[in-house]
A and B are shown apart, each in its own frame.
Chain A
Amino acid sequence: MMLPKKGDPIIIQNITGKYGRFHAKLMLDYGTNIAAGATPGKGGQTVEGVPVFNKVAEAVENTGAKASVLFVPAEFAYGAGEEAILAGIKLLVVITEHIPVRDTLRLIQLANTNGASIIGPNCPGLIVPSARVKMGIMPVTSFAPGNVALFSRSGTLMYEIAGQLTKGGFGQSVALGIGGDPVTGTTTSECLDFVEGLEDTRAVVVVGEIGGDAEERLAAHISKSGRRKPVVAYIAGRHAPKEKKLGHAGAIIYGNYGTAESKIRALSAAGVGVAMTPMEVPSLVANALR
């Protein structure tokens, strides 16, 4: 995975839709170089001064973009992702919710064979405050430049915890939404490997929730790799009922699989400081950096 740098050209797929249009403006306002949009049949239009092309390949040819944000409806998301990858896009941020899991798996397979990375689906995107790069839908007021990397399965909880961190004096080197689906293009373990090599990152905050075993795998990964950057976690859903999908497609407990207890136990055993509430996160980060 390569994070976009300040001024890197970025395209938005389905920039002509309601959400694409709205968020294109907010990304531009933040300072992100939204260089082009792509929507089939809408080539020649402009949105917020940004030229729109019919095909991603044309947008890439005209701008040199290597990164794309997708606001494409779930039914068409696989096709749009495939088009982007085949046009040479190397970083796809998939905001779309409700993509069938088999479509996500196929897209991940295609990305792997073409050396592309997928963030999401069903995620708020990513933000690099120091570079004023935003590929996503997060409210920028919660974020500030700094040395904490923040990775979250949940959107609003990421904003809330970013806000708490910022208020506590801990800005973010990068904040990235993993996504709330059962299968995501990038895992928290991969994110952790990525920031291990980032000089401006001194600590990592991981926001998890019930469902699946991403946090257990993260714990095993931390134990195995013996890394040095401290990790703080918060896991939502300690009081969640079983066998109920709670808002996110991936937030569901089956039997003893996917419980918050299991995740907290695994992370604690791996030496991760686990906050019991979002409000506790900044003080755990402060402890970890002391």
Chain B
Amino acid sequence: MKLFEYQAKELFRVYSIPVPKSVLAPDVGAAGDAFEALRHPVVLKAQVLAGGRGKAGGVVAVSDEAAARREAARIFDLSIGGEKPAYVLVEESYPHQSELYLSVSLDRGERSFVAIAASAGGIDVESLSGKVIRKVPLDGIDEKFAREVAARVGLREPGAGQFVTILVALERLSREKECELAEINPLAVGMDGNLLALDAKMIVDDNALFRHPEFAKLHPEDEFEGEASKQGFALVRLEGDIAVVGNGAGLVLSTLDLVGDAGGKAACFLDLGGGAQEERIEAALRLVNRLPGVRRILVNIYGGITRTTDVAEGIRTVLSEGPVKPLYARVSGAEEEAARKLLEGTPVNLFKSAPEAVAAVVKPS
């Protein structure tokens, strides 16, 4: 779960990582008031989870209140990666001589957490050159570890001492809150040499949320995706018109590829999960049938622990309840003959292979 910048910065404050003074504004009026309450100039920052916020015009510096209101109104109207900002963070700007990069993140390939630091910040970590990367022990780091990183980044006092404190705090935050990523980019070096975290990014391990009730309800989740997870399957909404349903994440991913290769666009990714039984299949079909944007439904099942006959029964039940959008299905694997018999005479377009079903759903005759 990705946190909004203002949420991450609230945690930074708790862990004594220095951040600029700021006010969270829910509307234009509040943004104007915030301008008055802070030292000028200020920076207005759209609070969205999508990347590319700066390029989309979601970050702007202003020096008078009229501009603050005008720019806040503009930002509230933006759609950044399909997301409308619920808040604008109004923050005192911090004149600085240089920028650093600092993060603690999971390195999947190394199967370890790593601290990454660089003497240039503000850009994507992938594009950074001269990165210092050090493996972080599972039980945490000490000041000695942080001092070595500071030295390799080439920091001098007073920045070096502050950097050590910040890295130790960031690692503790990352460990205690079970983050996959805790990132400060940029970490600004002020005109007087003091460090300040100008941006904050945190991604919390979804699987660890049961140990962190403090993160529950931080995000308004998509209504349909939330309903899916309650029912025990995984739904991700996409922008096309073909609902793609299957059993198993890899199988559904591979079906998305077939649809894409055939020139179709998926409206969603729906993984029924292992051993799905009738009720879950029915719930999934009902949900995609009323999902906005869906025009046709593709079901790709490879039967194993999931019984193909259960899938067929589930489809029949949902068809008996009322109108269902055109259904295209490939049902294969254990008991497929019995499943096909069950679907004979129903409006389901049944296919023996996934490519045939995909061709038909993409270009219906």
Residue numbers of A with Cβ under 8 A of B are 19, 74-75, 98-102, 105-106, 108-109, 124, 137-139, 141-142, 152-160, 163, 180, 182-183, 207, 209-214, 216-217, 234, 236-241, 243-251, 255-257, 260, 276-279
Contact = CB atoms under 8 A, between A and B. Distances in A.
B106 A183 contact: yes
Interface residues of B, number: 53
Contacts of A214: 108-109
Contacts of A248: 249-250
Nearest to B252: A247
B51 A236 contact: no
Interface of B: 50-51, 106, 108-109, 111-113, 124, 126, 138, 175, 178, 180, 205-208, 210-211, 234, 236, 238, 246-254, 256-261, 266, 269, 271, 274-275, 302-305, 332-334, 353-355
A81 B207 CA distance: 17
Contacts of A108: 111
Contacts of A234: 254
A212 B105 CA distance: 13
Contact of A239 (B180, B249, B261, B304): B261
Nearest to A260: B257
Contacts of A154: 248-251, 253
Nearest to A213: B109
Contacts of B248: 154-157, 159, 247
B55 to A, nearest CB: 14
A156 B302 contact: yes
B253 A257 contact: no
B253 A100 contact: no
B112 A105 contact: yes
Given A237-B256, A238-B257, A239-B256, A160 B251 contact: yes
Given A99-B207, A236-B257, A279-B354, 15 more contacts: A19-B275, A100-B205, A101-B106, A106-B138, A139-B304, A139-B333, A141-B304, A141-B334, A153-B250, A157-B248, A160-B251, A217-B109, A245-B206, A248-B249, A255-B51
B180 A212 contact: no
Contacts of B124: 255
Nearest to A217: B109
Contact of A155 (B206, B254, B274): B274
A43 to B, nearest CB: 27
B108 A156 contact: no
B354 A239 contact: no
A105 B271 CA distance: 27
Given A100-B211, A102-B208, A249-B207, A277 B257 contact: yes
Contact of A243 (B51, B138, B256, B274): B51
Given A105-B138, A157-B254, A247-B271, A239 B260 contact: yes
A-B pairs with lowest CB-CB distance, top 6: A154-B250, A156-B248, A247-B249, A139-B304, A239-B260, A157-B250
24 contacts: A100-B205, A100-B207, A100-B208, A108-B111, A139-B333, A142-B333, A154-B248, A154-B251, A155-B250, A156-B247, A156-B274, A160-B333, A163-B302, A210-B253, A211-B108, A236-B253, A239-B256, A239-B259, A239-B261, A240-B256, A241-B236, A250-B108, A276-B257, A276-B261
B266 to A, nearest CB: 8
A255 B247 CA distance: 27
A279 B253 contact: no
A240 B253 contact: yes
Contacts of A212: 108-109
Contact of A183 (B108, B210, B274): B108
A247 B180 contact: no
B111 A251 contact: no
A138 B305 CA distance: 7
B205 A102 contact: yes
A3 B317 CA distance: 44
B274 A236 contact: no
A92 B242 CA distance: 40
A142 B304 contact: yes
A19 B124 CA distance: 44
A206 to B, nearest CB: 12
A209 B109 CA distance: 14
Contacts of B207: 74, 98-101, 249
Contacts of B106: 101, 182-183
Given A156-B247, A245-B236, A139 B254 contact: no
Contacts of A142: 304, 333
A236 B32 CA distance: 49
Contacts of A183: 106, 108, 111
A121 B251 CA distance: 18
Contact of B254 (A236, A250, A257): A236
A278 B266 CA distance: 19
Contact of B269 (A102, A141, A247): A247
Contact of B250 (A106, A138, A156, A241): A156
A137 B275 CA distance: 10
Nearest to B137: A109
Contacts of B355: 277, 279
B236 A246 contact: yes
B126 A255 contact: yes
Q: Which of B207, B246, B303, B332 has the most CB of A within 10 A?
A: B207
A60 B151 CA distance: 51
